[in-house]
Amino acid sequence: MNFLDYFVVIGYLGILLYMGFAMRVQENKGDYFLGGRSLGWKPLALSVMATQLSAISFISAPAFVGLRDGGGMIWLSYELGIPIAMILLLGTILPTLYKSGVVSIYDFLEQRFGRSTRLLISIVFQFSRAFATGIMIYAVSIILQGTMGIEAWQAVVLTGIITVLYSLQGGMKAVVYADAIQMVIIILGTIACIAIGLHALGGLDVLVEQAPKERLTAVDFSSFGFSGDGFGFLPMLFGGIVLYASYYGCDQTQAQRALSAQNEGDLRKMIVANGIIRFPITLLYCFSGLIVGTLALTNAEFFNKIPADNPDWLMPTFILNYLPHGLIGLLIVAILSAAMSSLSSAINSLSAVTIEDYCRVTNKELEHKSYLKMAKVIGLVWGGITLILSLFAGNIAPTIIEAINKVGSVFYGPILALFLLAVASKALSGKHVNIGLIAGVGTNIVVWLFIPDVFWFWWNVIGFAVTCCVALIARITWPNNSRVPELEKLNFHSILTVKDVSILVGFFIFMLTVCLLLPSLFS
**Confidence band (pLDDT; 50, 70, 90) for 425?**
confident
* CA dist 255 → 163, 210, 267, 345, 493 (Å): 20, 43, 10, 11, 16
Q: Please tell me the distance from the alpha carbon of residue 333 to that of residue 336, in angstroms, as a whole number.
A: 5
Under 8 Å between Cβ of 209 and 64: no
Q: What type of residue sits at position 363?
A: N
Secondary structure class of 203 (helix, strand, coil): coil
Distance in angstroms between the alpha carbons of the first and the last residue of the chain: 39
- Does 279 reside within a domain? yes
Q: Is the pLDDT of residue 295 over 90?
A: yes
pLDDT digits (tens, 9 = 90+) for 495-517: 899 999 999 999 999 999 999 99
CATH number at residue 444: 1.20.1730.10
Give the predicted TM-score (pTM) of the model.
0.83
- Does 283 reside within a domain? yes
Q: How many CA atoms lie within 13 A of 209 on its CB side?
A: 8
Give the residue with greater pLDDT, 115 vs 379.
115
Question: How many structural domains comprise the chain?
Answer: 1
- Does 34 reside within a domain? no
Burial class (CB in 10 A: 0-12, 13-18, 19+), 387: buried
Q: Please tell me the distance from the alpha carbon of residue 120 to that of residue 245, in angstroms, as a whole number.
A: 20
Secondary structure class of 493 (helix, strand, coil): coil
Q: Please tell me the distance from the alpha carbon of residue 488 to that of residue 472, in angstroms, as a whole number.
A: 24
- For residue 454, the 8-state DSSP code is S
Domain span holding position 69 = 3-25+39-518
Burial class (CB in 10 A: 0-12, 13-18, 19+), 117: buried
Nearest Cα residue to 247 out of 385, 105, 382: 105
pLDDT digits (tens, 9 = 90+) for 78-132: 999 999 999 999 999 999 888 887 777 878 888 888 888 888 887 887 777 777 7
User: If you average pLDDT over each of 125-139, 152-166, 167-181, 502-516, which comes out highest?
Assistant: 502-516
- Does 523 reside within a domain? no
Quote the mean pLDDT of the chain: 81
Phi, psi torsion values for 265, nearest 5 degrees: -65, -45
- Does 30 reside within a domain? no
Q: Please tell me the distance from the alpha carbon of residue 496 to that of residue 89, in angstroms, as a whole number.
A: 9
**Confidence band (pLDDT; 50, 70, 90) for 391?**
low
Under 8 Å between Cβ of 297 and 88: no
Q: pLDDT value at position 26?
A: 46
- Does 361 reside within a domain? yes
Q: What type of residue sits at position 297?
A: L
- Does 377 reside within a domain? yes
pLDDT digits (tens, 9 = 90+) for 28-80: 444 444 444 556 667 666 666 666 666 677 788 899 999 988 889 999 999 99
- Does 32 reside within a domain? no
Calculate mean pLDDT across residues 189-193.
88
Least confident stretch, 12-26, 122-136, 206-220: 12-26
Secondary structure class of 71 (helix, strand, coil): coil
